[in-house]
């Protein structure tokens, strides 16, 4: 795997931007047209970033060769996560909900 | 779709290297986080539901988080492709594949970003396909837990079909809480996965 250093600065910047955004969004909540425009912008910037992630993957022969193994890792992790969460959901269902 | 198109473009070498080697995608992520924050803050549903339901509704989102981590941790420890922290960061996407994979790519590596992308897409697809079975095996809350952050939008229709209409509010709230928590959780966990 190719590593890039994960630094605390990126984390703080992401969190500050998101929570600052939440405050700004709360203040701007009545400007519906602006909010709708910004939400469209979100969808397009996600598409753009996913496209760039795709470009970076497609260009990297090591990752391309490893795609099946990355897919297997992904499948294992999602199965484990889903299984763990539904088991706890079953406990909550039994304890708090199904009695009523 | 856009990801697949990107893979094709990159593989064929149709774009100059400067396009992805620059800091542009970091700033695009920053812009995205600001916009996501604004849309959450402007969503009156978030405040309304919290006012109505109080802390009791936090139980299920908390269980989804704890259950996901408890499931992922032993599996990640057994895998030699990811470390424990990397596996948990992937799990902390809770189906929110676009944002979690982008954050993980920026903070860590492209390959872990791809795992996060695929893993969280699989989580959403699993929920869409298995919701009725999950109800039979694990009770009516299971599709909500399995859906993770997607229980507020893409998987909400299948949840109300499989579990019942009365679970719409629970699913909506669950999805909103997890959607808000995905960026902080993923970035926080990523700092342990250097």
ipTM: 0.84
Q: How many domains does chain B have?
A: 1
Residues 140-169 of chain B with CB under 8 A from chain A are 140-142, 144-146, 148
For each of chain A's 100 residues, which pLDDT tens digit applies? Answer: 333 444 556 667 777 888 898 899 989 988 889 988 988 888 888 788 778 777 877 887 877 878 889 999 999 999 999 999 999 999 998 887 765 5
B53 occurs within a structural domain = yes
Rg of chain B in Å (alpha carbons): 17
Question: Nearest residue of A to residue B47 by CA position?
Answer: A26
A55 touches chain B (CB under 8 A): yes
To test the contact with chain B by mutation, choose from A81, A92, A98, A99 the residue with the greatest count of B C-beta atoms within 10 A, namely A81
In this structure, how many other beta carbons lie within 10 angstroms of the beta carbon of residue B136? 11
In a shared domain, residues A86 and A47? no
Region B94-119: what's the mean pLDDT?
Answer: 91
Q: How many domains does chain A have?
A: 2
Q: Do B72 and A77 touch (CB under 8 A)?
A: yes
Q: Do A56 and B110 touch (CB under 8 A)?
A: yes
Q: B194 or B166: whose pLDDT is higher? A: B166
In a shared domain, residues A15 and A51? yes
Q: What is the DSSP letter of B40?
A: H
Domain with B167, as residue range(s), is 24-190
Distance (Å) from the alpha carbon of A78 to chain B's nearest alpha carbon: 5
Region B85-105: what's the mean pLDDT?
Answer: 93
Q: Do B33 and A28 touch (CB under 8 A)?
A: no
B151 occurs within a structural domain = yes
In a shared domain, residues A40 and A20? yes
User: From residue B127, how far is each of A73, B93, B145 by CA, in Å?
Assistant: 19, 15, 9
Q: Which chain A residues have a beta carbon less than 8 Å from that of B91?
A: 77, 80-81
Distance (Å) from the alpha carbon of B54 to chain A's nearest alpha carbon: 16
A3 touches chain B (CB under 8 A): yes
A25 touches chain B (CB under 8 A): yes
Distance (Å) from the alpha carbon of A56 to chain B's nearest alpha carbon: 6
In a shared domain, residues A53 and A72? no
B65 occurs within a structural domain = yes
- Of all residues in chain B, what percent carry a pLDDT higher than 70? 89
In a shared domain, residues A77 and A96? yes
B16 occurs within a structural domain = no
Residue B55's pLDDT is what? 67
Residue A1's pLDDT is what? 32
In a shared domain, residues A48 and A20? yes
B105 occurs within a structural domain = yes
Q: How confident is the model at residue B18 (pLDDT cuts 50, 70, 90)?
A: low
In a shared domain, residues A41 and A87? no
Domain with A95, as residue range(s), is 67-100
**Measured between alpha carbons, how far is B26 from A45 in angstroms, rounded to an integer?**
12
Give CA torsion, residues B35, B40, B101, B118, to 10 deg.
Answer: -130
User: From residue B149, how far is each of A2, B13, B53 by CA, in Å?
Assistant: 28, 35, 19
Q: Is the pLDDT of residue B157 over 70?
A: yes
Q: What angle do CA B81, B82, B87 make, to 5 degrees?
A: 140
B27 touches chain A (CB under 8 A): no
Question: Nearest residue of B to residue A16 by CA position?
Answer: B34
B102 touches chain A (CB under 8 A): yes
Q: Which chain B residues have a beta carbon less than 8 Å from that of A60?
A: 10, 110
Residue B23's pLDDT is what? 65
Residue A99's pLDDT is what? 57
Region B106-115: what's the mean pLDDT?
Answer: 90
pTM: 0.79
In a shared domain, residues A7 and A49? yes
In this structure, how many other beta carbons lie within 10 angstroms of the beta carbon of residue A43? 11
Q: Which of B134, B137, B150, B142 is nearest to B167 (CA)?
A: B142
Q: Which chain A residues have a beta carbon less than 8 Å from that of B9?
A: 51, 54-55, 58
């Amino acid at each position: 795997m190719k590593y890039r250093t994960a630094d605390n600065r990126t984390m703080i910047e992401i969190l500050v931007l998101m929570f600052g955004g939440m405050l700004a969004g709360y203040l701007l909540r009545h400007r519906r047209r602006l909010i709708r425009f910004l939400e469209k912008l979100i969808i397009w910037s996600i598409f753009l970033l996913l496209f760039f992630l795709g470009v970076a993957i497609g260009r990297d022969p090591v990752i391309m060769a490893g795609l099946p193994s990355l897919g297997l890792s992904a499948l294992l992790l999602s199965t484990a996560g889903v299984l763990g969460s539904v088991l706890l959901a079953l406990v909550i269902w039994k304890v708090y909900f199904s009695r009523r | 779709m856009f990801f697949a198109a990107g893979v094709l473009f990159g593989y064929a070498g149709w774009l100059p290297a400067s396009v992805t080697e620059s800091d542009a995608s970091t700033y695009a992520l920053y812009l995205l986080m600001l916009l996501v924050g604004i849309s959450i803050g402007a969503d009156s549903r978030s405040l309304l539901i919290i006012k109505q339901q109080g802390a009791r509704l936090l139980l299920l989102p908390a269980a989804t988080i704890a259950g996901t981590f408890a499931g992922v941790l032993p599996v990640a420890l057994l895998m030699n492709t990811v470390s424990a922290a990397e596996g948990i960061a992937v799990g902390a996407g809770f189906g929110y594949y676009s944002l979690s994979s982008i954050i993980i790519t920026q903070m860590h590596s492209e390959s872990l970003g791809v795992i996060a992308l695929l893993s969280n897409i699989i989580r959403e697809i699993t929920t869409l396909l298995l919701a009725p079975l999950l109800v039979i095996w694990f009770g009516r809350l299971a599709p909500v837990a399995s859906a993770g952050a997607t229980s507020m939008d893409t998987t909400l229709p299948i949840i109300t079909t499989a579990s019942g209409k009365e679970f719409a509010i629970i699913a909506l709230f669950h999805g909103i809480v997890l959607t808000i928590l995905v960026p902080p959780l993923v970035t926080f966990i990523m700092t342990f996965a250097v």
